[in-house]
């Protein structure tokens, strides 16, 4: 059966821990019966992403240097919800990163970002009824550039490989499809 766990865990040891992640090494028996190890990166935050779309069909992207990739990245407003509901975290991130709030919120997608090494779950929302509330207030570790552009242009950035962040790719493609379906309803 495919829904029966074929792995056997013998022991687990936390090998690294900080405020954002915990790494655990597991001594296991592989599905084929051979011994092995498996490392899991546990994300302490629930990832959230927001595709804000205004009445003109424009969205906002956030640009920033991503340390892990050693590269600049264009993304939807996103971050983590720690000790809060994912929707509350998404609303907070939209306000912090873009200075925006929204009247309507819809869960677009729940994804696992890299399920071979991490248990990270991301909730991606479509936000409409957009209002400018304040100036963005990024965290000290963020140096952000905000860009307003047509949703179709952001989707084209996905299709040409200029947006590679998994949460952004999933969110933008799903938002385009959901909004297109609403036009025909």
Q: Is the pLDDT of residue 2 over 80?
A: no
84 and 165 in a common domain: yes
Q: Is the pLDDT of residue 106 over 60?
A: yes
Residues whose CB is less than 8 angstroms from the CB of residue 37 and which lie 6 or more positions away in sequence, other chains included: 25, 26, 27, 28
In a domain, 3, yes or no: no
Residue 174 is part of a domain; what is its CATH number?
Answer: 3.90.79.10
Confidence of residue 58 (pLDDT cuts 50, 70, 90): very high
In a domain, 20, yes or no: yes
Helix (H) or strand (E) holding 55: none
pLDDT digits (tens, 9 = 90+) for 6-29: 999 999 999 999 999 999 999 999
Please give the residue that has the higher pLDDT: either 142 or 129.
129
| Of 147, 53, 140, residue with least CA distance to 98 | 147
In a domain, 2, yes or no: no
Integer CA distances (angstroms), 57 to 11, 70, 178, in order: 52, 32, 13
27 and 80 in a common domain: no
112 and 72 in a common domain: yes
With b meaning 16 or more CB within 10 Å and e meaning fewer, what string describes 59-89? bbbbebeeeeeeeebbbbbbbbbeeeebeeb
Q: What is the mean pLDDT of the chain?
A: 94
Q: Is the pLDDT of residue 182 over 90?
A: no
124 and 171 in a common domain: yes
39 and 110 in a common domain: no
Domain span at 163: 46-183
In a domain, 13, yes or no: yes
Contact 51, 172 (CB under 8 A): yes
85 and 165 in a common domain: yes
136 and 58 in a common domain: yes
Confidence of residue 1 (pLDDT cuts 50, 70, 90): low
How many domains does the structure of the chain reveal?
Answer: 2
- Which residues, listed in sequence order, are joined to residue 25 by a DSSP beta bridge? 13, 39
In a domain, 100, yes or no: yes
56 and 77 in a common domain: yes
163 and 74 in a common domain: yes
Model-level pTM? Answer: 0.91
In a domain, 1, yes or no: no
136 and 74 in a common domain: yes
């Amino acid at each position: 059966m495919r829904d029966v766990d074929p792995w056997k865990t013998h022991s687990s040891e936390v090998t690294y821990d900080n405020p954002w992640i915990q790494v655990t090494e597991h001594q296991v028996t592989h599905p084929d019966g051979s011994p092995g190890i498996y490392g899991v990166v546990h994300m302490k935050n629930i990832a959230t992403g927001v595709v804000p779309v205004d009445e003109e069909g424009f969205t906002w992207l956030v640009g920033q240097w991503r340390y892990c990739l050693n590269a600049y990245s264009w993304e939807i407003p996103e971050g983590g919800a720690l000790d809060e509901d994912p929707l509350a975290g998404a609303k907070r991130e939209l306000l912090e990163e873009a200075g925006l709030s929204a009247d309507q919120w819809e869960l677009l997608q729940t994804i696992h970002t890299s399920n071979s090494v991490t248990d990270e779950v991301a909730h991606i929302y479509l936000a409409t009824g957009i209002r400018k509330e304040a100036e963005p207030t990024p965290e000290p570790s963020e140096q952000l550039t905000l860009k307003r552009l047509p949703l179709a242009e952001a989707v084209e950035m996905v299709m040409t490989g200029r947006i590679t962040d998994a949460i952004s790719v999933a969110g933008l493609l799903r938002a385009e499809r959901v909004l297109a379906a609403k036009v025909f309803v």
